[in-house]
Structure 1
Amino acid sequence: MRILWVKVGGLWPPDTGGRLRSLHLVSELSRRHHVSLATTHAPGEDPGPLLAHLPRCEVVSVPYALPKRGSAGFALALARSWLTTQPVDLLKSVVPGLREEVRRRLEGGAVDLCVADFLVGTANIVLPGPVPTLFFAHNVEHLIWRRLARVETSPWRRPLLEVEWRKLRAAEARACSRATLTVAVSEEDAALLAARAPAARVRAIPTGVDLSYFAPGTSREDDTSLVFMGSMDWLPNEDAVLHFLEAILPRVRGEVRNVSFTVVGRNPGPRLRAAAARDGIALTGRVEDIRPHVLRAAVFVVPLRVGGGTRLKIFEALAMGKAVVSTTVGAEGLPLVPGLHFVRADDPDEFAQAVVSLLRDPGLRRSLGLQGRRLVEERYGWPRVAEEFEKRCEEAVTLGRRHTACRPSPAARAGARIAGWLPEGIKRHARPLRSLQARHGLIDWKLRFRRALPTRREARTGDAGPIRSILYVCRGNIIRSPMAASLMRRCLADLGRNGVVVSSAGLYAGRGLPADPRARAVARSFGFSLDDHRARRLTAGMVGQADLIVALDSLIEAELRGRHPRAGRKITRLLTQPGDRPARPIDIPDPYDGEEDDIRRCFELLRASVRRQSSGLFARETAPEEVEAYHAS
């Protein structure tokens, strides 16, 4: 294949997780394919070391300095963002020289596949373009900014972050929808991206590590030394270290005397330098080799509260045989087992206690380190990861050839431009309809029209026959449907109907994902537990086995009826409270993009609706012979 790889921000030096991942993949791909790298470097930087590291690649590097906060370039990007729907992060990453180089090469006909590295890479590519495009999503960017907004304490910065993450979410959905194929770095990220762009093709590859470079050391570690590693000009890393200094390190030092903490990473900011001076910790800045700092430490800490993608730093620490303590966010997307490969702790007290326990127990540190090294040795070397990525590249090329004749017409492109100027409120209500195929959309409007008729009375929930299994269906199976299923189980227990099986699934669920953390917290506050829930994607087998299938909004119902027309009599919705007017189907709004309060309101609406449903379903006892006769038929 002839691959054009587009990367804003350069690949050298390899001092960030994204640079490391891309550099290794480009290097491995260039062994079997012709790879051209179109990238940028800061003015005054020498691209020579990058060329030397990639001798089999053609490298074109354009000088460009990404605008920093406070600069004229950043102010211009911010002003443009306020006047458009584009996020600041993309607008400041448009590089005219790079964009022109990419356009010239793509139109020249000598490229089989274009790889847009990170979301900012798509800002320099026209999508869809003349060749298949693979969008390489190292992170779910809007999730990072959304989490930043949650932990932001400044009353004027938080609203700006709230606006930015919503714009990034829309930009990510557009990029996924317009790219031939999207590749994420974990199944969790792939599911999140697919949920926002249901028509997109999203795949996942594992992350990797250089096993020969990151290897266990022979020197003795310092029993009172902690280390954190990461680029300190990345806001989630800075937030993590400041949080550790304020909430965790004092607790650790209260238990173990003379504990030292070293932060290894480039460009620490003024806030962090001031905190380091106050608390007596070491900031290394950029270093040529991180390994001595990591090998010297007894415990590797990852106190991230904000993030996305997967943390290469954890794999590198495991490859060096280090004991790791991480938050759930820090280890997100990695195939690690808490207690076997690392220690997971989210509460500051729990995190501090985990660190103290490891400092006092060299045997436990050694056990965790051995298990972590074994895991990455068996499955996560870069050559193996590159093979997976290569398969995705080949898939994108095949898809591109298959759909060459299906490119948008000039009229369609004009329509898309017009849609870009519609008010956001109209687009927000219309956007879910885009996930429906035309046939499903017609079903949705047909159902709306029939139910709007004044003489129309909704069928009774139990009209499909005797019920011994109920299936609740939403989109991702991480908030609404698991909450509904838990509520129905409680109602059935109260009614003494313990023989009914209640389950849930999602039309676009990422298999095996846990329930949303906010949904788990809300459920606990009402006396329920979603901790053991794992998402399931709806299958024909589930539809066939269920006696009653409850769609949680009108679009899900339309898609269910379109996908499974023979199951139509089993598909229903939750209903409003009957009164002077007949009961009507009720939509349970998807609270995924909201806050915890929105999920709480969703739970309360579900609680009332499911109670009504359980009362309607089991108002009378069904004789056992009636149940058997129904299922035999």
Structure 2
Amino acid sequence: MKILAVTSELPYPPTHGGARLRQFEILKRIADEHEIHLVTFWESTEDRDLTPDLAKHFASVKALMKPPPRPSRTIADRFRVPHWRLTWTDEMLELIKEQVVAVKPDIAYVTPEHMAFYIDAFSGIPSWIDITDSGELFASSSLALSRSIKDYLRGVVYLNAVKSFERTWFPKYNGCSLVAQADADSIKKLCPDLAVHVVPNGVDTDFFSPTNVPSKSKRLVFTGTMDFAPNIDAVTWFCHEIFPLIRKKIPAIEFDIIGRVPSEEVTQLEKLDGVKVHGFVPDLREAVQRASVYVCPMRKGAGMKNKILEAMAMGVPIVSTASGATGIEFQDNVHGLIRDTAISFAEAVCDLVSTPQKGESLAKVARKAVCEHYSWDHSAELMSNCLSQLQKDSEKIAL
């Protein structure tokens, strides 16, 4: 099967965010059995320089440098999702059309949701969009945390714009996939006639595995791309509302924030006692495993969090909000602790730091669960099955 894959960013290196990780791990496995031709955007000269490392997995790679986001120019722009301004270029549309002619693909595979506008390039070709996360759920979670009437009204406008976008563009595809059931249910409600499937994220349980790195009993850690709004909100809330409560009981405890491109708001957190912002770390395993507790105080967002899967795989005790554990087999008091208020979150962290044997017990169950249910091989197999079925269905219709 020939697949023309169109992505919003180079799916490499997999250390640069969840979107790159998901597409790299899934597409490189599908490429073992099918012929994949990739069309994508470079976001930097680093991306361009890394393309040869990625190209060995695919039949071909074509890319354009992504232009900077265009500003809103009209009042109407304020009532639309910003996807047009982020990823649309006439040059990309023409490149995709050229590849359609040159490759003659059996299937078009598009990801993520803000590349949906390029559907017109695939006239007559069965098309699949890997939406990944529900925009409606993401917008709703942000709306719930509005700090002012102005923020709330903006949130309402954005939520309505997202729902309009999803209703309009996703049904133009023959099928779609999302990482979690809650996200799939949201899209199915908006697009009842669209074939919706769940293809969860995975984790490399051999790479992310428990080691003999000595744990520091008074160290907490959070990882993520640190210019991503939900991650910024998570560490800001934790540092200002939760961490001071923890330090009252455990004064020597420290908090490590690890992740590339920390925003100014995140960098400023280092001024707080006990907080260290590390930025990008080539291999985060040692830093995570030196912590006695992995904290995931996520309040915004949708989908499933790779950071939770990785911490589970490494056997590090976890305290998360319900939002942080969404879409993952992660039950309170079974795989870790789930707390949604600042006070209860702080108490849970103190509990695990003070009683390490409890954390170790939870972590063992979590490691077992992630090994059984969240491999990238399984995720790639699910996606491959979706695309193969789409091709078969289209062939039946053609007959």
TM-score interval (norm. to shorter): over 0.9
Work out which of the residue numbers 213, 222, 225 in structure 2 matches 1:228: 222
Check 1:330–1:115 CA distance in 2 against 1; reply closer, same or farther (3 A cut).
Answer: same
Question: What's the offset of the Cα at 1:402?
Answer: 4.0
Contact 1:323–1:342 at 8 Å: present in 2 too? yes
Question: What's the offset of the Cα at 1:155?
Answer: 4.6
Contact 1:252–1:356 at 8 Å: present in 2 too? yes
Query: Does residue 36 of structure 1 match 2:32?
Result: no
C-alpha distance in structure 2 between counterparts of 1:289 and 1:326, whole Å: 23
> After superposition, where does 1:459-608 map in structure 2 within 5 Å?
none
Query: Does residue 195 of structure 1 match 2:174?
Result: no
> After superposition, where does 1:616-627 map in structure 2 within 5 Å?
none
Give the letter aligned to residue 47 of structure 1.
R
Work out which of the residue numbers 212, 222, 225 in structure 1 matches 2:206: 212
C-alpha distance in structure 2 between counterparts of 1:277 and 1:210, whole Å: 35
Query: Does residue 25 of structure 1 match 2:26?
Result: yes
Match of 2:11 in 1: 11
Give the letter aligned to residue 369 of structure 2.
L
Give the letter aligned to residue 87 of structure 1.
V
Match of 2:240 in 1: 246
Match of 1:582 in 2: none
Three-state SS of the structure 2 residue aligned to 1:99 is helix
Three-state SS of the structure 2 residue aligned to 1:223 is strand
User: For residues 47-85 of structure 1, what are the alpha-carbon distances to aligned partners after superposition, in whole Å with 9 as ceiling and x for unaligned?
Assistant: 343431451302112111442xxxxx2x2xx22572586
User: For residues 557-608 of structure 1, what are the alpha-carbon distances to aligned partners after superposition, in whole Å with 9 as ceiling and x for unaligned?
Assistant: xxxxxxxxxxxxxxxxxxxxxxxxxxxxxxxxxxxxxxxxxxxxxxxxxxxx
Give the letter aligned to residue 7 of structure 2.
K
Match of 1:178 in 2: 172
Match of 1:458 in 2: none
Contact 1:248–1:348 at 8 Å: present in 2 too? yes
Three-state SS of the structure 1 residue aligned to 2:251 is coil
Match of 1:384 in 2: 378
Query: Does residue 59 of structure 1 match 2:53?
Result: no
Contact 2:220–2:293 at 8 Å: present in 1 too? yes
Check 1:263–1:404 CA distance in 2 against 1; reply closer, same or farther (3 A cut).
Answer: farther
Query: Does residue 100 of structure 1 match 2:94?
Result: yes
Question: What's the offset of the Cα at 1:38?
Answer: 0.9
Three-state SS of the structure 2 residue aligned to 1:224 is strand
Contact 1:310–1:333 at 8 Å: present in 2 too? yes
Contact 1:216–1:320 at 8 Å: present in 2 too? yes
Check 1:118–1:80 CA distance in 2 against 1; reply closer, same or farther (3 A cut).
Answer: farther
Match of 2:46 in 1: 45
Give the letter aligned to residue 143 of structure 1.
L
C-alpha distance in structure 2 between counterparts of 1:107 and 1:154, whole Å: 51
Question: What's the offset of the Cα at 1:291?
Answer: 1.2
> After superposition, where does 1:322-333 map in structure 2 within 5 Å?
322-333=316-327
Question: What's the offset of the Cα at 1:187?
Answer: 1.6
User: For residues 463-485 of structure 1, what are the alpha-carbon distances to aligned partners after superposition, in whole Å with 9 as ceiling and x for unaligned?
Assistant: xxxxxxxxxxxxxxxxxxxxxxx
How many pairs does the alignment contain?
A: 397
- State TM-score, norm by structure 1: 0.60
Contact 1:135–1:183 at 8 Å: present in 2 too? yes
Contact 2:100–2:122 at 8 Å: present in 1 too? no
User: For residues 271-327 of structure 1, what are the alpha-carbon distances to aligned partners after superposition, in whole Å with 9 as ceiling and x for unaligned?
Assistant: 222232134411111221111211111100110111101111100111111111111
Question: What's the offset of the Cα at 1:32?
Answer: 0.5
Question: What's the offset of the Cα at 1:222?
Answer: 0.5
Three-state SS of the structure 1 residue aligned to 2:108 is strand
Question: What's the offset of the Cα at 1:97?
Answer: 2.5
Question: What's the offset of the Cα at 1:174?
Answer: 2.4
Work out which of the residue numbers 135, 138, 142 in structure 2 matches 1:144: 138
Question: Which one has the bigger strand percentage?
Answer: 2
Aligned Cα root-mean-square deviation (Å):
2.0
Match of 2:2 in 1: 2
C-alpha distance in structure 2 between counterparts of 1:46 and 1:206, whole Å: 26
Greater RCO, 1 or 2 (C-alpha within 8 Å, sep 6+): 2
Mind listing any 5+ residue stretches in structure 1 that lack a counterpart? 68-72, 406-633
Three-state SS of the structure 2 residue aligned to 1:47 is helix
Contact 2:176–2:195 at 8 Å: present in 1 too? yes
- State TM-score, norm by structure 2: 0.94
Contact 2:119–2:172 at 8 Å: present in 1 too? no
Work out which of the residue numbers 247, 253, 256 in structure 2 matches 1:259: 253
Three-state SS of the structure 1 residue aligned to 2:241 is helix
